[in-house]
Amino acid sequence: MKEFRSHVLAAVGLHARPASLFAQMSKKSGCVVRLAKVVDGTPGELIDGASILKIMSLGIRSGEEVLVQVEGDAEVETAAELQKIVESPE
């Protein structure tokens, strides 16, 4: 399993377009992707990273920290791509 923590850089947070890109990449990868919002250093409940509705329900805003776990055959590559989405300023 590959895991990383990162701060969301998009001005809109992890909503709409960034959430859609994250969910699409998760589905396309064939890996199991889990996402949690980190508050005061503690990750919340892990949700299915392939579900745009679940991602948006976390209400992750710009500057907030997330924890991402990726498990599967392409976990290293998938984690790298997901990190790019999370850290993209757009």
pLDDT digits (tens, 9 = 90+) for 29-80: 999 999 999 999 999 999 999 999 999 999 999 999 999 999 999 999 999 9
Please say whether the beta carbons of 4 and 17 come within 8 A: no
User: Domain limits of the chain?
Assistant: 2-87
The pTM for the full model equals: 0.95
| 90 — pLDDT class (breaks 50, 70, 90) | confident
CATH superfamily of 2-87: HPr-like (3.30.1340.10)
Pairing of the two strands 42-43 and 65-71: unpaired
